[in-house]
């Protein structure tokens, strides 16, 4: 799972999230809400947290099984924590390779004909860093 900091950076860069069953997220609520609530990781699931598409946007509905009373939040109030496979898929045709180095993983992508490498001890973070660069260059 990628770090909250990288997930927030991807969100701020414009990464769109269309919640699906199995997706993990944290809340991104106003400052007056306790920070420990934001630290909890939730999983979209038909049984506990459902994604409801409405004309005004997507709502994440909590079905009463969570430990605190929360009916629903908008996708804008959530920070998606994409999995490694989701990040790799989002890189699409720019992805070239994932390599295991001595103390890290290296993701190689090619953006506008330029090969680029991103290293991190966690392969998901390396994919996320590559995606952040891709989004930044596509703006």
- Domain total for the chain? 2
Measure the CA–CA gap between 49 and 22, rounded to whole angstroms: 10
- pLDDT at position 67, please? 47
CB 60 within 8 A of CB 51: yes
Q: Are residues 125 and 88 in the same domain?
A: yes
Q: Are residues 91 and 134 in the same domain?
A: yes
**Tens of pLDDT, residues 56-102:** 888 777 766 554 556 677 888 899 999 999 999 999 999 999 999 99
Whole-structure pTM over 0.85, yes or no? Answer: no
Q: Indicate whether 5 belongs to any domain.
A: no
Q: Are residues 113 and 134 in the same domain?
A: yes
Q: Indicate whether 51 belongs to any domain.
A: yes
Q: Are residues 88 and 74 in the same domain?
A: no
Q: Indicate whether 73 belongs to any domain.
A: yes
Q: Indicate whether 130 belongs to any domain.
A: yes
- pLDDT at position 42, please? 85
Q: Are residues 24 and 76 in the same domain?
A: yes
Region class of 24: left (phi > 0), else alpha (psi between -120 and 50), else beta = beta
Q: Are residues 49 and 93 in the same domain?
A: no
Range of the domain at 44: 18-80
Out of 39, 59, 80, pick the residue that ends a domain: 80
Q: Indicate whether 3 belongs to any domain.
A: no
């Amino acid at each position: 799972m990628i770090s909250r900091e990288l997930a927030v950076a991807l969100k701020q860069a414009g990464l769109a999230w269309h919640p699906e069953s199995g997706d993990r997220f944290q809340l991104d609520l106003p400052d007056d809400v306790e920070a420990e609530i934001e630290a909890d990781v939730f999983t979209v699931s038909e049984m506990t947290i459902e994604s409801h598409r409405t004309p005004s946007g997507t709502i994440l509905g909590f079905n009463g099984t969570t430990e605190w009373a929360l009916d629903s939040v908008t996708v804008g109030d959530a920070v998606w924590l994409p999995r490694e496979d989701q990040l790799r898929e989002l890189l699409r045709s720019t992805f070239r390779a994932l390599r295991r180095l001595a103390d890290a993983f290296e993701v190689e992508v090619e953006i506008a004909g330029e090969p680029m490498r991103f290293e991190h001890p966690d392969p998901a973070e390396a994919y996320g860093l590559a995606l952040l660069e891709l989004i930044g260059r596509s703006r």
